[in-house]
Amino acid sequence: MVKQQRLAAVEASPRGFGKHTNKQVQEVEGYFSTLVEECAVVIEEHRGHRLVYEFLNYPIAVFSLLLPLPRSSLLCSPSLASISGTSAATMENVAVFDSPGKGRGLKATKEFWAGDVIFSEASLSAVVFDSLAERVCHSCFRAQEKLQKCGQCKFAHYCDRTCQRAGWAEHKQECGAIKSCGKAPNENIRLVARILWRMDKEGSVVSDMQLTTLEELEDHISDMQEEEMQEFKVDIHNFLDYWPRNSKQHRIDDISHIFGVINCNGFTVSDQRGLQAVGVGLFPNLCLVNHNCWPNCTVILNHGKIELRSLGKIAEGEELMVSYVNYLNLSEERRRLLKTQYFFDCTCEHCKDHIKDDLKLGGREVDGVKPPAEQVKEATEYCFSRLEKMDNARLNGDYHEVVKICRDCIEKTEPVLADTHIYLLRMWSTLSEVQAYLQNFAEAADYARKMVEGYLKIYNPNNAALGMAAMRAGVNHWQAGEIEVGHSMVCKAYAILMVTHGPTHPITKDLEAMRMQTEMELRMFKQNEYVYHSMREAALKNKPMTMMNEPRSVEEGIKNLFHRRK
């Protein structure tokens, strides 16, 4: 009965929502002007977070020699585990409805509080990116050093026999098709084929949890531009070569529709920590969640499933929304991104009233006096011009040049620009990241703190990017031996990630371990500051520095909420 009602509601819906086009990413003006892709809140702002992980081994290894943690404490505590069990997430929590001006949307059928899982959903199908086909398991999506090849097609890679067996149902037909083609087609073609094989076997609604059929999702083919259309046609042509004669044959329109759907609704699948995008998948229910620049939900991939999590109190009947773009962008920029990539005009309060735009480009107020507008404009322009140089130096791996550019720019513009100015925030963020890489931890910590303080005034208090930034700042302070600030930042990050990622997410678990470690060190510091520092120094001296990998965050750029073809 319930299912029938849902289906009736689904049928009444005029459109899904569009995502992005697959044409070349245009030069984006504004905050993320020189990045390859613009950021979405959900996959977080990754610049630097991977670096934190590379460096983490260092202080943790050093200090765990001094203060070995009981093994069990590294696991999620039972009290935390029970929090995640509070909402047995099912699709009963949501209903499809007609959202005024937006087409279909999802609304809450009961009240939610911060950190509640509203629903979780496994992908209908997912594939590993072409570029990582030999480095990521095709079944569990973990990045691994040593993977085993499928003996048949030599294309699919797995951790072990268990993963291979688990992935066989999805791979079986693909395996035969790759073998007879002689090589694997690109990720889009592989994904469409997997989806079609699955639908041929199970029908277009593969579980009664699925609130929409794929036919009903928007493909935005008619919105595509010429260049994009060409690529699209090439994919379809190659698909037809790949699709086996003995599989069910489909109409070309139906095939194009699925290509269009994954093009605008394909969701980026990340590794277990969510720090590296490794593939793309389709999550049909998630496709029904509309955008708001100041959303009430966030979506996170946790143990292979996406979770829609509540960021605060949500009333029964309220529409559930996530943000497709980073809130750090000015309202005008967000609207432009949403229009070009997701084909709609954002009418949210924050865009309409340009909320916080003044903070993002503002001047520094000293004793209630703001600098003249002309001076702020000049400093803004100067800072903007330096960002490109900074990014280039970073891409070239010239980190000392990055430090020089950042320091110079900060010295000139910091006295004029507000501590929430988005260009200044980018300077601080990059400088702290690069200094951490160069092991100048004290300066890294200072600028990371400024970055977090700026973010706090801009972002929703439960924003995932804010939480990740606080984690980075916490680690930087810890590395710099500033254990008090370090511990408080780690706690702050932990509190945010408990909401945005939940207690069972691997990053939250890492933070839990860090929180206990820093707490112990803080206690030691408070008992005897001198002993703390001398032990720390002794440990640092005895621990040989290992070679660190080059930061990869730049080349990877910031990932979209929804996968965008390059």
Which spans of this chain sit near Zn ion (rule: CB under 5 A)?
137, 139-140, 150, 152-153, 156, 159, 163, 175, 293, 346, 348, 351
Distance, in Å, from the CA atom of 229 to the CA atom of 12, rounded to the nearest integer, reads 29
Asked if residue 492 lies in contact with residue 500, where contact means CB atoms within 8 angstroms, the answer is no
* Residue (325 or 390) nearer to Zn ion, CB: 325
Per the CB < 8 A criterion, the answer to whether 412 and 429 are in contact is: no
Phi, psi torsion values for 309, nearest 5 degrees = -115, 140
Residues 6 or more apart whose Cβ sits within 8 Å of residue 421: 359, 360, 361, 362, 380, 383, 413, 454
**Shortest distance, CB of residue 436 to Zn ion, whole angstroms?**
31
Shortest distance (Å) from residue 155 CB to Zn ion: 6
User: Of the two residues 163 and 328, which places its CB atom closer to Zn ion in the complex?
Assistant: 163
Nearer to Zn ion, 137 or 493 (CB): 137
113's torsion region: left (phi>0), alpha (psi -120 to 50) or beta? beta
**Strand 297-302 with 305-310, pairing:** antiparallel
Strands 305-310 and 117-122: antiparallel
List, as one string, the DSSP characters of 70-136: PGGGGSPPHHHHHHHTSS---GGGEEEEEETTTEEEEEESS-B-TT-EEEEEE-SEEEE-GGGTTTB
Please report how close the Cβ of residue 194 comes to Zn ion at its closest, in angstroms.
13
Token pair listed for 298: 């966030």
Least distance to Zn ion, CB of residue 173, Å: 10
Identify the CA nearest to 286 among candidates 322, 315, 337, 254.
322
* Minimum CB distance to Zn ion, residue 418 (Å): 22
Nearer to Zn ion, 347 or 528 (CB): 347
For Zn ion, which is the closer residue by CB, 163 or 445? 163
Rounded to a whole number of angstroms, the minimum distance from the CB of residue 142 to Zn ion is 5
**Closer residue to Zn ion (CB): 89 or 175:** 175
Q: How far is the CB of 307 from Zn ion (least distance, A)?
A: 21
Rank residues 271 and 391 by Cβ distance to Zn ion and give the closer one.
271
458 Cβ contact partners less than 8 Å away, ≥ 6 residues apart? 327, 328, 356, 359, 360, 420
